[in-house]
Structure 1
């Protein structure tokens, strides 16, 4: 048998790579892993975790205001961005350390430098050393897309938001997806004047139309300005230090900060993949089969670098399935149906299964049930903001094929409800469940 330095070499230690390395090592494999930036990847370092902490911080803006309606004597409060930024980055450092400790405890050899593929069974490290492995796993994730427009370097991406020295008074966010809408809500709550510019007239493509329209309505009421059907033509720094952003389809804007949130592309540049025969698609994603195997049998990929579903829990599940199948004698594949997702906007929205439009295209008959209500807390706080829950059912058998929500704690509520949708429960099953009163979640079993 051919001798290799390792059974598995993982390039990229984000959510998918960390899970695959740890599980493979727990199955007895000799594992090495390389990371050129920080262990934890996008989610831990510059994505889900620090973003959610900013979301929590942003919610205090309304909570402190509402508290007065509930009898609390709240003095005028001042938000200090530097304090939150420092505490968030400190938490990120703590989590990165925990990831490293976990991998080391499982016997994974950590290599904190860039690694590229040098052959079907070889990896070249930045220092020049060549390492051999029976299997190579690419888990390098994705990176923000920056448009090709004059002055593009004046803008930043979601990677840099967490390191801003000060909050911008006026910020333009380019994009209509979840990253754009989440940071629009965060920065608006912190006091920035936010303008969101999108090249189409649709935000959150892929989510149910009624739910995303409700978010647009609420966001506008909160003071976020939306400009649609616009594309950038030029970005210039003015003599006063501001940014002059020229657009086609909309008037130009002068802002303090421009944030690009127009999508993410697989991070496969200069990894040596095509040179050894690994096929990439038009976006640069690694083409893999159901077992995460590329066109080179010894090279595999999981997570955003495959561009299947760019979600952290999916990457984790793929890493687990990969390691169990290859090293644990437990063949498994990821089920990509009924994946729940959420947008941590203000208010948040969450979804699982088919939208109404998707269901009407796929099924012969559809029944739709909704609950459009004012949350009890909002009533006493004097807010007109309304929540909306929507259930999409197959009319032939009553099976719930989609569930969509916008309102406080929607992601927390939907996680449990997603189990019911995936299990194929019917509207009757929901109706027969006694409501938990008074709660927002009870609307799930009271829809008409």
Structure 2
């Protein structure tokens, strides 16, 4: 049977773009459809703009630190409109880079929505049908909307980059890494931040000691963190609410979004203060509400049922170890499979797909010992098992230290950092490394190399310390603080 393309990719995020380019480099005839903007969540409404906001938010502390170090500087004021303009110029540039890479690889781009008609046919919004020997679904995920009346008054992480004005006060609902990162970002930009999380501690699934320190530092920096708390009800604030409010900030006009349906930014039709009531009985008015309560795979209205593709109970596409669905011609990678929701993982899954399908080298994407970072303030870097997960598997030793780092201690700040190694008592391998410190993401990338190679505690001990640094503690901890 003759096909229009060897590969048709649905989704122009990092994973889909990489798979398309590498397959084309192998001589495959490739097309890719993206209905919104090339670059996907990471480039357009995730990692990249978020990290730029992280950088912007750290300068307030830097001004105070500079004075402690003898610099005659004054606190500035943050210009959200100016920053936002520069931010979106950069995102536009990056989108064009992605488009250029695809065009340079002879990948045909369809700027439209695509749906599966059958295992080898894709239907575009224009009505055009194209056929492909292989179809790769890489449509990513989107923020989940809470099941709450008037939830449309709030925004998700998609819209936060589109705000017309910086709110004076905001309620962030959620306790995962997205919620905690934006709590720290907005706090650093001068917003009065309140955070509700229904669980007993933020950052569920990460090492207890590390996430506990982050929660402590967030409170130290002025974030009003409420655990065991959720929003019970919300509505547009009226005059009576404003008169009784414990805090009333300015309007926060939320930017309207553009785009079609898959992973498009949701919109909010409210540009004024929001009255909220929490499960603990607290009533308060906020300029804005941000819901960061999870993400959902983008599988709706993709024609998966028509093609016979199996979808899991959370909407994820079910795949085997080689990213293949139950339909042999259809594969899926990235967040739409709900395996590991990280951009570098999606990219590696895309490359493993090409190795398997176009190079004749069956390759499973490696999901073991993936380093990751949470860009709170301070950052958290982690690789391997938490202390809790490790001790459930085998006897372990825990090496840990927490201290005030030299740079901020000199400036009179109370910031603390954490260095932690979880070690197998039997094999002496380092099972997990957890860092809470400035630039923890940079540190964990390098520690991850050693741990992926199977380094033991004694291997760490043999490395000479780089002094004076925060990271030297990773190789100078000689005595376990506890065993389990």
TM-score interval (norm. to shorter): over 0.9
Aligned to 2:76: 77
Q: 1:232: how far off?
A: 2.6
- Separation in 2, partners of 1:250, 1:52: 35
- Separation in 2, partners of 1:233, 1:388: 35
8 Å CA contact retained: 1:38, 1:96: yes
Counterpart check, 1:287 vs 2:286? no
Aligned to 1:390: 420
8 Å CA contact retained: 1:230, 1:250: no
Aligned runs of 1:26-425 on 2, under 5 Å?
Answer: 26-239=25-238, 241-363=272-394, 365-425=395-455
Q: 1:119: how far off?
A: 0.7
- Separation in 2, partners of 1:332, 1:228: 43
- Separation in 2, partners of 1:74, 1:388: 30
For structure 2, list consecutive stretches of 5 or more residues without a partner in the other structure: 240-271, 479-484
- Separation in 1, partners of 2:291, 2:182: 11
Change (3 A) 1:250 1:179: farther
Q: 1:252: how far off?
A: 2.2
Q: 1:226: how far off?
A: 1.2
Q: 1:384: how far off?
A: 1.5
Q: 1:166: how far off?
A: 0.8
Aligned-residue RMSD, C-alpha:
1.0
TM-score (norm. length: structure 1)? 0.98
Q: Deviations over 1:388-440 (max 9, x none)?
A: 01100001121100000101111101100001111111111111100111111
- Separation in 2, partners of 1:239, 1:249: 22
Aligned to 2:254: none
- Separation in 1, partners of 2:114, 2:391: 47
Q: 1:250: how far off?
A: 4.0
TM-score (norm. length: structure 2)? 0.91
- Separation in 1, partners of 2:404, 2:227: 29
Q: 1:233: how far off?
A: 2.8
Q: 1:64: how far off?
A: 1.3
SS in 2 for 1:148: coil
Q: 1:269: how far off?
A: 0.5
- Separation in 2, partners of 1:75, 1:366: 49
SS in 2 for 1:156: coil
| Count of residues in correspondence between the two structures | 446
